[in-house]
Amino acid sequence: MSETEKGWARAAGRSIYDVLSTDAVPAPPPLLASAYDFLGDADLDAQRYTDPGFAAKEMTKMWAKTWQWACREEHIPEAGDRYVYDIGPYSVIISRDEAGALHAFRNSCTHRGTRLIGSEGTGFGSGITCPFHGWSWHCDGTLEQIPAKWDFPHVQPQTHDLRPVACAVWGGFIFINLDTAAAPLSDQLEVMTEHFEHFPLDTRRIKVHVQKRLPANWKAAQEAFLEAYHNVETHHSPNGANTQYDIFGRFVTRFIHNTGTYSPESLNDYPGTEWRDPVLTEAEILARTVGITRELEAGETARAVAAEDGRSRLASALGESQADLSDSQILDSIEYHLFPNMFFFPGINIPMVYRFRPDGDQVDTCLFDLLILEPWPAGQAKPFPPEPVFLDVNQSYTDVPELGWLGRVYDEDTGNLALQQQGLKSAGKGLTLGNYQEARIRRIHQTLDEFLKA
């Protein structure tokens, strides 16, 4: 097989484009777009996930030089509000000053380096004071006061203001970059700037925030969510066997897989799936998709009926018509990944945001932030975000009742991670990736290597 032919094989059955292009309420242009290039088929070195030296290099050459969201605007809506965000050994304070402007700076005293604010999360203060010697700064990071200033004639505000960190806002998220000379956030967002004009996230609010420690390297953990190839075995679900994967650039990838439709032909390549359903009727698909039990009239499809039900419920919740919202946005799992560690779902039925971070300097564990972002009525003030619910490695997502049916799914999604991390240490070979279904994983590693070699 030639290099030009590799990676172009696809699962049998209707494609995502086939489904979306015939929906009752058509998908917006970004969801009908596709972008794929064969990125190679060489194995990945397992030590990328297990070597503390590799993790240390990631921290200084990538994490310290890339944009990542730290919090939402509604975490710090008023003057004096602040948020602390930690990534590995680094800590950043995001603050809103008296004029309402946002600032970000390193969470470190410019006197003797003490961490100024102890824990990650929200807070409030008219300024920032070091708990060690009492040096203080205004909310914009400028030096305010030095006790016994007579002994520091060599200290000037321009030399001892808090050290700035790059800060930008997109989609209601506040991003930081420790590299003040970094390219603008818009460069890293690539097509997301245009695509998410159709899916505004700044109009949503955080309904649930769960943070869980996972027993795997941050890359292995997020890769469990980058493909739907695992759905058949891990979730015993045919949904996702036929999924579209897009590589939009160095930083942004996407997958789309459908809800409310069923393509049994795509399961023919999965040996041992004798449990799989026979061909389902549209009424059976509808019952499984949204729990609606009724016979369908001639020409009706489960997908169209389920989407209309979702539009109706959303219209009631928001107090305004949702007639223009596409079937795909209502039903489908649409997942954009923004390098290095961020997932944004613009859909309504599956409206999540993910973030995966190293757990301090540990190579075998990571922190997974899961947010449910629900649409919020226009013109209404957003409530203050809920505090994160923390789950340790052995706790279940079903301990968070607000997750509903998703709790069981997330337990399945992360249930293999401890075994994977253990297996990576004794693999004796590299990791083999599918050319299409796992191309998003390869793209992330290629972009990571660009940072590591810089």
For residue 164, the cross-strand partners are: 105
Contact between 122 and 74 under an 8 Å Cβ cutoff? The reply is no
DSSP states along 252-302:
EEEEEE-SS---GGGGGG-TT-TTS--PPPHHHHHHHHH----PPPTT--H
**pLDDT tens readout for residues 111-158:** 999 999 999 999 999 999 999 999 999 999 999 999 999 999 999 988
pLDDT score of 434? 95
pLDDT score of 38? 95
266: pLDDT strictly greater than 70: no
240: pLDDT strictly greater than 90: no
How far apart CA 365 and CA 416 sit, in angstroms, is 13
pLDDT score of 239? 63
Which of 135-139, 196-200, 225-229, 270-274 is predicted least confidently? 270-274
309: pLDDT strictly greater than 60: yes
Domains of the chain: 16-54+198-453 (3.90.380), 68-177 (2.102.10.10)
What's the mean pLDDT in 183-196?
Answer: 98
CB neighbours of residue 416 within 10 Å: 16
373: pLDDT strictly greater than 90: yes
275: pLDDT strictly greater than 60: no
What's the mean pLDDT in 358-381?
Answer: 95
How far apart CA 338 and CA 450 sit, in angstroms, is 16
Task: Reply yes or no: is the peptide bond before residue 184 cis, omega within 30 of 0.
Answer: no
Dihedral through CA 203, CA 64, CA 179, CA 390, nearest 10?
30
What's the mean pLDDT in 95-103?
Answer: 96
| Helices and strands (DSSP H and E) totals, the chain | 14, 18
Which of 235-249, 296-310, 356-370, 379-393 is predicted least confidently? 235-249
pLDDT score of 277? 59
What's the mean pLDDT in 383-398?
Answer: 96
What's the mean pLDDT in 83-109?
Answer: 97
DSSP states along 16-40:
HHHHHTT-SSPPPHHHH--------
> What global pTM score does this model have?
0.95
Which of 34-48, 149-163, 225-239, 355-369 is predicted least confidently? 225-239
